[in-house]
Structure 1
């Protein structure tokens, strides 16, 4: 009996030592094993978890749109201050589909991305058939055109007559028309009378951007392997190398504003730090922006996740953003930069029309 107890004690001691050593080894190597697994799966190559998520995003994407409704149109047109009421959000489910995906030997991937938007009534307090008063973009654009450009007399007379009898500076449209398109009465007449100048009478705030985006080609870093300096390419995972076959833009007034920095905002490299400034290129507004750490959240698996937001200075009227100021022709025909107030951003160079957000 004593021998059995002695033998059992030895077995128990040996088992404890084995478990202790296993625990030490697990603590020692688990972190490196996890990091190795993360690095392996966080590469944009077929078969990895990240590639599946990147190709077919499992996370639902939503876009919330707000508009300002002018409720004192008559008073405003008579010189009074505008009374605006914010309406919304009008929430749309966004579906993205990556197309024409191509892999290159230098560790890059090119693709195009089409988007589809479905109105989500359950998340929206108002229907997209809601009508609101807003600035008549075509009317105001033509007025500005007549005042700033050397227009032939015949063309000026035709436009002036149409503006006087057809439309007003304020228009009423449904949310659906405003975002996704409507036939503009002014352009419809000009299309018939001046077909050589006006070929399309459809106007939309958002549809034109969405339609144009599907033809944009993006070339990104796949994060696989090492670069020529023996640095891990994973640190540049998703970084946009070229946008529409160019390494920079040419629409803004200096080279810094024209830079294409960061990713497309859907993926970033792993091991992001709180003190790190993250960059993303937003092709919808034709510019790069930086993001900074805001706060930490815990996900369903009790893992810390970092939230990064666009800081206020990204759209501030400061020297760093001077490149986004617009060139205006003065009365003496000289060029002068005009910067908008903080919080405003002109999409004129991006959309090739007068539009400010």
Structure 2
């Protein structure tokens, strides 16, 4: 699903954004593990390729449907200009381009929005600032998918016993290293940088209702946990456990303080120390594709329709239904 901004003029004049949900747009996902290597210490490394094929028969509209949405590049560069230590010449050129070429709202097809388009701002900056911009293609989703193919994951194979003579099956699929490191280095404390759980395609057998199921989501550069929700019957009439993401995963709490962005982070962006409940900043995780420097994208993630977010967040946009 995507959101279509239907009151652009009013929004740019300070009004609340009004959106209409469009979709569904259904894609068949195929994940292929490649460069698989087995090691004597009971671990396996691999990289993962993802491929998405549009399924028109299950979608409400074609990918050519045009929507109004936030101009990601425009807002990214506006945010970039707030950073310190930017040479005055670069600041001047970017400022002139932003004021004369584009605006905060753009109209794109769903296919362009998700999978990429030639951005007019980056096209100009690629010529005027080649030391900063090397590519004028930009996408919301494809850049994350493409980057994933270069990430190396090392997991526990769950076979045999460990040095304490304990069966390793409970650790099957557990990520031991991500890109050759046992932890991340982009967040502000040790807890936030921990790599916990599996890649979400496998978990240990005999899961219990009272345990937390951890998974590392490399798309958002953090680990999350799932809690037991209910017992369900699958199509073969077999009882299965359903685990869901609890509301407190993205809560504004002491457990999540390491994910808050402030002036002490590496990118030196001046932001609120912590976002309201239900919101999670991806600025430290996702960067503008095509830039020679790591220019952070000012993107904030949430549950669909701001589910479980603060009421002030839900009320800030007209057209959402967080149920």
The corresponding residue for 1:323 is 258
Shift of 1:250: 0.6
1:276 partner SS: coil
Structure 1 residue 217 and structure 2 residue 161: aligned? no
In terms of mean alpha carbon deviation, does 269-278 or 146-155 score higher? Answer: 146-155
1:323 partner SS: helix
CA RMSD of aligned residues (A): 1.9
Shift of 1:71: 0.5
Q: Distance in 2 between matches of 1:227 and 1:151?
A: 51
Q: Distance in 2 between matches of 1:85 and 1:196?
A: 39
Q: Distance in 1 between matches of 2:180 and 2:83?
A: 34
TM-score of the superposed pair, with normalisation by structure 1: 0.77
Structure 1 residue 261 and structure 2 residue 196: aligned? yes
Shift of 1:334: 11
Q: Name the CA shift for 1:296/1:192 in 2 (closer, same or farther; >3 Å).
A: same
Shift of 1:150: 4.4
Shift of 1:312: 0.8
The corresponding residue for 2:278 is 343
1:327 partner SS: coil
Deviations 1:255-292 (A, max 9, x none): 11111111111111111111111101111111100111
The corresponding residue for 1:182 is 117
Q: Distance in 1 between matches of 2:247 and 2:125?
A: 42
Q: Name the CA shift for 1:334/1:176 in 2 (closer, same or farther; >3 Å).
A: closer
Structure 1 residue 250 and structure 2 residue 194: aligned? no
The corresponding residue for 1:49 is none
CA contact (8 A) 1:108 1:219 kept: yes
The corresponding residue for 1:201 is 136
Deviations 1:62-114 (A, max 9, x none): xxxx2221111111112222111222222211001110111111111111110
CA contact (8 A) 1:329 1:336 kept: no
Aligned pairs, how many?
290
In terms of mean alpha carbon deviation, does 101-110 or 85-94 score higher? Answer: 85-94
CA contact (8 A) 2:83 2:269 kept: no
The corresponding residue for 2:292 is none
Q: Distance in 2 between matches of 1:177 and 1:334?
A: 28
The corresponding residue for 1:36 is none
Shift of 1:301: 4.2
- Which structure carries more helix by proportion? 1
Q: Distance in 1 between matches of 2:243 and 2:109?
A: 34
The corresponding residue for 1:85 is 20
- The gaps in structure 2 that reach 5 residues or longer are 288-295, 302-323
Structure 1 residue 284 and structure 2 residue 228: aligned? no
1:345 partner SS: strand
Structure with greater contact order relative to length (CA < 8 Å, sep ≥ 6): 2
Q: Distance in 2 between matches of 1:336 and 1:70?
A: 25
CA contact (8 A) 1:100 1:112 kept: yes
Q: Distance in 1 between matches of 2:131 and 2:119?
A: 17
CA contact (8 A) 2:50 2:149 kept: yes
The corresponding residue for 1:76 is 11
Structure 1 residue 109 and structure 2 residue 44: aligned? yes
| Structure 2 counterparts to residues 97-246 of structure 1, below 5 A | 97-246=32-181
Q: Name the CA shift for 1:97/1:336 in 2 (closer, same or farther; >3 Å).
A: closer
